[in-house]
Structure formats: C-alpha cells, structure tokens
Amino acid sequence: MLKLALATSAQLPELNEDDRLLLAELRARGAEARPAVWDDPQVRWEAFDRVVIRSCWDYHRRLPEFLEWLNRLERLETPLWNPAPLVRANAHKSYLGALSAAGFPVVPTAAVARGSGASLAGLLHERGWNDVVVKPAVSASAFGTRRVSLRDAADPRVQGFFAELLASGDALVQPYLEEIGRRGEWSFVFFGGSYSHAVLKVAAEGDFRVQHEFGGDVRVQPPARSLVDAAEKVAGWIPPPWAYARVDGVEAGGRLMLMELELIEPLLFLSCDPAAASRFADAVSAAPRV
C-alpha cells in the first residue's frame, strides 16, 4: 500500500478544501494518505513513500526553516514532490530572469537587492514606469505586494515601505499591466508534464490583486488555444521530473505575458474541473522515486 503525506501548515492541519479533493482521490485508490504539518517535529517523514507539498502557505515567511526541511527529507531519502532542487529554485522569483533569458515573454522585472538602499522613485524614473507593482522576491498570495504610482513613489512613507521591504529581503518591481484589471489573470495547471485545466482570476472592483483573500473571483472558462500553447511551452522549460505546475500570466497584445511559474504550493483549482483531482492523483502515484 502506497503511503503518502500531503504536507501542509499548522494553520491548515487538515489541508485546504481544494487539496482535500486530492486526499479523497488517493484514498479511493487504496493509498494510505494523510495530511502532515511540515514543521511538526513528531512527523516521521521517512515512513512515507512520497511527500507531496500542498498547503504549506507559510513557507515564504520562514524560508530558511522550510529549506532546512527540504534538506532533511533529502537526507532521509524521502521522495518529495515536487523535488527539492526544483522547489529551491522556485522559492525566489529570480527564476523570472531565467525565463526571460530563455526567450519567454515575461512581465518586465527590475530586481532590487536586499539592503541596497535603492530609491523607488529613482527606479521608476530610470525605467520610465508610471505605475508599478512592488513585491518581495520570496512571496506567496500577494504577501507584501503593493501598487505604486510614480507620483506616490516620492512620498517618504512609500519609500519607507520600500526600504522596509529591502531590509528583510530582495524585491521585485514590475510595471502594472492594465490588462489585469480589464481581462484578469490566467492560471494554467499541469500534472506530470501534461496540461490539465485553466481558470481566469479576476480582481475585486478597485483592487489589482486576484487572490481570494483580497476579494478576487475565479471563473471557469476556456482559454484561447494560443494561450494554452504558450503555457505548455513554459511548462516544457521546467527540468523534469515534476508532478505539478501552475503557469500564471495575463493576455496582453495577443500573447501570454508570464507573471509567475508556481512549483511549490500553488492552489491548483481542483474543484474547477471534475477530473482534475484524478489527474493529479495519477501524477502523484506515477511519480518515480528520486
């Protein structure tokens, strides 16, 4: 009998509602599957045949501890999905630079190093950007994310926010895309290298963040084939093997502009496709021991 742990956080000891669909699917197939809190010292990770990272939605606040947990599983030779090297590479959004260098259309991004003392207003003037989104380079669920205009960037309080961000880590500054407000942001979900389904995330009136924590809405509608093709090319860039991925982007100028590639603990919108949980369970069950 296959023994699986779905890693989660102490805030979600029974997983989130979406991930419980995967849990039920695995159990229906005869697997011994259960949630396990990633930082619980009582968990014997070596007892599992596979560990699947799911609702670990606090990892970005405790990255050194989370990375040490990955190291521990490697020492125990416990198979982790996605694999630890892939998770490490995806934890810092500098991977966007690698995707851009590989020729993918990525939202223009200025990376600002921790402790650099950079001026946000100066950066916007230098880049010719009038409206930007500022975020930590290690982040999830729009944590620490703020939209700033060129006019507001000169405000000492806004520069104070930017300085505080840089005091704790690297930051990213990206021009705000009006298409997010007009069209929303697409999430394309992949399992075991194959496209599964997509959803369109729409921000609440007056906001730019599409996450449900900020009033965002999820719509199930078919994306254009050209957008799926573009997302598949991004998924093809990911070094195998991997069990799941989410490609996030916005349609701009007739093409998919990549915003993020989520390989750690993304919400996979299993409830939005009746066969998604089954496809995910297939990918997890078939994942090789690495």
Q: Is residue 251 within 8 Å of residue 179, measured between CB atoms?
A: yes
Tokens at 254, concatenated: 């007739």
Nearest to 169 by CA among 270, 88, 64: 64
Task: Indicate the Cα dihedral angle 32, 35, 37, 41, nearest 10°.
Answer: -30
Q: Is residue 53 within 8 Å of residue 4, measured between CB atoms?
A: no
- β 217-219/171-175 pair status: unpaired
The secondary structure of the chain in percent helix, strand, coil, rounded to multiples of 5, reads: 35, 25, 35
The CA distance from 95 to 97, in Å, is 5
Task: Indicate the Cα dihedral angle 276, 25, 60, 176, nearest 10°.
Answer: 10
Candidate list 25, 251, 260, 262, residue with the active-site label:
262
The question of whether 61 is a catalytic residue gets the answer no
Nearest to 18 by CA among 174, 212, 182: 212
The question of whether 65 is a catalytic residue gets the answer no
The CA distance from 128 to 76, in Å, is 50
Which H or E run includes 228? helix 225-237
Beta-sheet strand order (sheet of 32-37): 32-37, 3-8, 50-55, 80-81
User: Three-class SS of residue 142?
Assistant: coil
Candidate list 209, 251, 265, 279, residue with the active-site label:
209
Candidate list 246, 251, 260, 265, residue with the active-site label:
246
The CA distance from 59 to 39, in Å, is 10
Q: How many angstroms separate the first and last alpha carbons of the chain?
A: 19
The question of whether 50 is a catalytic residue gets the answer no
Q: Is residue 199 within 8 Å of residue 220, measured between CB atoms?
A: yes
| Catalytic residue set | 209, 246, 262
